[in-house]
Amino acid sequence: MLDVKGISYSLKNGRKILDGIGFSVGSGELCAVIGPNGAGKSTLMKVITGLINPSDGSVQFMKTDLMSLVPRARAKVVAYLPQITHAVSSSVSDAVLLGRKPYISWYPSADDRELVSDVAFRLGIDHLLERNVTELSGGELQKVLIARALVQETFVLILDEPVNHLDVKNQIDIMETTRQLTRESGLATLVVIHDLNLALRYADSVLLLDGGKQAVFCRSSELKSGCVSDVYNIPMDIREIDGRRCVIY
């Protein structure tokens, strides 16, 4: 269980970016983090990951304070795919192998390389292992980056806008894969996403941020159109179509 308790974060000039955010995500669950630009979504992910320290509050996994862990130990609990990642020339195999860094002292072991192969197979990118990452399509690169996060063998997975700039097919493919791996591996997964329909389709729960504050945290099946409309400041309606909840605006 990932427990985020009362997280606040302020800049040095006193401007508050996050204000009292608190929610929980269980193992095997995917939580969609939504909200307008500037709502504090990426900042919250960086706090949970440990890249920045909050002004107040705590982040715990199974009652262990993640902020008390040294970076190497924290990297064995939380895997993070940032919003912007640039492809650096290397083989796909080596790019994925970087996820094993918290466990490697000098050289990767045979077990490390076998894990890379296994994860690549699960994501359907095993045929790309010898390719250079600079030659990949956007969807292929995102799968490589997710594979790198998965070989860390963590309990928490954080993906910041993993489907940004991808076509519809690749967006669905990435979200399907993420949900499946979350279930199979018992991960507590957070996905920052702008597409509200993808959030409702794939997430177990939804965290809606507005101006650094928590507008609502609820099961995706309980998200109300009025709350979403108020936060985005445009009329929206959530309807069930063919057994699936959809946002219409």
Determine the Cα–Cα distance for residues 115 and 103; give it in Å rounded to an integer: 12
pLDDT in tens, 106-118: 888 899 999 999 9
The overall average pLDDT reported for the chain is 92
Q: In what order do the strands lie in the sheet with 205-210?
A: 64-65, 56-61, 2-10, 16-25, 213-219, 205-210, 29-34, 188-192, 156-160, 78-81
- Average the pLDDT over each of 71-75, 76-80, 86-90, 194-198 and give the range with the smallest value: 86-90
Q: Residue 138 — φ and ψ, nearest 5°?
A: -60, -40
The pLDDT of residue 240 is above 90: no
pLDDT tier at 85, thresholds 50, 70, 90: confident
Maximum Cα–Cα distance across the chain: 56
Determine the Cα–Cα distance for residues 177 and 120; give it in Å rounded to an integer: 12
pLDDT tier at 237, thresholds 50, 70, 90: very high
Residues 6+ apart with CB under 8 A from 144: 92, 95, 96, 125, 128, 133, 136
Determine the Cα–Cα distance for residues 182 and 174; give it in Å rounded to an integer: 12
Structure tokens at 71: 């970076």
Say how many C-beta atoms besides its own lie within 10 A of residue 64's C-beta: 13
What CATH number corresponds to the domain at position 76?
A: 3.40.50.300
Which residue segment(s) compose the domain that 213 sits in?
2-248
Stretch 133-153: mean pLDDT:
89
Number of folded domains that form the chain? 1
Residues 6+ apart with CB under 8 A from 134: 87, 88, 89
The pLDDT of residue 176 is above 80: yes
Q: What is the pLDDT of residue 86?
A: 76
Determine the Cα–Cα distance for residues 175 and 202; give it in Å rounded to an integer: 7
Strand 16-25 with 2-10, pairing: antiparallel
pLDDT in tens, 181-225: 899 999 999 999 999 999 999 999 999 999 999 999 999 999 999
Q: What angle do CA 181, 183, 187 make, to 5 degrees?
A: 75
Q: What is the pLDDT of residue 12?
A: 85
Q: Residue 105 — φ and ψ, nearest 5°?
A: -85, -55
